[in-house]
């Protein structure tokens, strides 16, 4: 029982401003991208616990989780490290699963069945564990921190910013691969050189080419990630509730305790031999 998302590029790349973009208001678009990049660059590490529920069709499993995550090396050294450990316990404190992931290797222990898995955390492996297509370990980190996966813009991508209302805006990203992503934020767009104060509330991804209609509704996305509430906003805005949906699979996470950017964090977990 892990988390879902898509890909994200290193924080050091997110600050590039020489990418061509399409928008009715390029100044507002630049401010929005800068806001997301700034938030990403300070989301370095996290320790947390709470409740987790995995639903698939008519079945549902719930438990308590404890996690340690190191997403960036540090604020001064923003290289991606994406190390994550998670322990899920069920009723009476019985361990149900353990997960330890790093860019080059993962370990997963199913305590109920007594099975242990080990290998590279590629999208195919993560999909088999979560039922969600197109996952990477970077995306697990991003979503746990309340960030939008794939927020950085690459050369060739097409970007459109549309406002639904004064306080609701959607950033559409057409990737060169044909994938469409949409990031919905809440907040008022800045005027002039004001700094944007925006909160990400939803991320959507279509794994195939989809047009953006001028009016009407979009087809249902292949992956939908929703962020609700605010647990803490010390170093970065950490949501209270995170919901990830893909097909008939839904993963719900609620934080009940969290510490942002704890000092000298070491991500490790004891696995059975």
- How many domains are contained in the chain? 1
136 lies in some domain: yes
Q: Do the domain assignments include residue 101?
A: yes
Question: Looking at residues 107-127, what average pLDDT do you find?
Answer: 85
Any idea of the CA torsion for 160, 134, 18, 15, to the nearest 10 degrees? 110
Whether residue 103 is contained in a domain is answered as yes
In a domain, residue 1? The reply is: no
**Does residue 11 carry a pLDDT above 50?**
no
Has residue 222 been placed in a domain? Answer: yes
DSSP element (H, E) containing 47: strand 45-56
Output helix, strand, coil percentages for the chain, rounded to the nearest 5.
15, 40, 45
What does the pLDDT read at residue 8?
Answer: 35
- Of 150 and 227, which is predicted with more confidence? 227
Residue 43 has pLDDT above 60, yes or no: yes
Least confident segment among 24-28, 77-81, 129-133, 218-222: 129-133
Range of the domain at 176: 11-260
Question: pLDDT confidence of 46, banded at 50, 70, 90?
Answer: very high
Q: What would the mean pLDDT of 102-117 be, rounded to a whole number?
A: 89
d(CA 131, CA 129): 6
Whether pLDDT at 9 is above 60? no
Q: Is residue 17 part of a domain?
A: yes
Strand, helix or coil for residue 88 = strand
CB 118 within 8 A of CB 106: yes
Is position 270 within any domain? no
Residue 272 lies in a domain: no
Mean pLDDT of the chain: 84
In the predicted model, what is the mean pLDDT of residues 170-185? 92
Which domain CATH number covers 96? Answer: 2.50.20.10
């Amino acid at each position: 029982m892990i988390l879902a998302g898509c890909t994200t590029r290193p924080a050091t790349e997110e600050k590039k401003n020489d990418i061509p973009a399409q928008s009715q208001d390029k100044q507002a678009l630049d401010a929005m991208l800068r806001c997301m990049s700034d938030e990403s660059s300070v989301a370095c590490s996290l320790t947390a616990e709470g409740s987790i529920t995995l639903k698939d069709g008519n079945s549902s499993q719930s438990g308590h989780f404890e996690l340690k995550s190191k997403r960036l090396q540090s604020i001064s050294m923003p290289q991606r490290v994406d190390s994550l450990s998670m322990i899920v316990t069920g009723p009476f404190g019985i361990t149900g699963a353990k997960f330890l992931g790093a860019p080059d290797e993962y370990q997963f222990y199913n305590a109920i069945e007594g099975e242990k898995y080990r290998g590279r955390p590629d999208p195919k492996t993560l999909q088999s564990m979560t039922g969600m297509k197109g996952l990477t370990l970077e995306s697990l980190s991003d979503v746990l921190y309340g960030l939008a996966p794939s927020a950085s813009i690459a050369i060739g991508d097409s970007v459109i910013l549309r406002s639904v209302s004064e306080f609701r805006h959607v950033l559409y990203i057409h990737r060169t691969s044909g994938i469409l992503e949409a990031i919905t934020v809440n907040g008022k767009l800045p005027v002039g050189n004001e700094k944007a104060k925006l909160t990400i509330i939803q991320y959507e991804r279509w794994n195939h080419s989809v047009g953006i209609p001028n009016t009407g509704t979009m087809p249902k996305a292949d992956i939908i990630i929703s962020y609700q509430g605010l647990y803490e906003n010390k170093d970065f805005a950490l949501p209270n509730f995170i919901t990830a949906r893909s097909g008939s699979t839904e993963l719900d996470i609620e934080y009940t305790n969290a510490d942002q950017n704890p000092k000298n964090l070491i991500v490790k977990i004891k696995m059975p031999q």
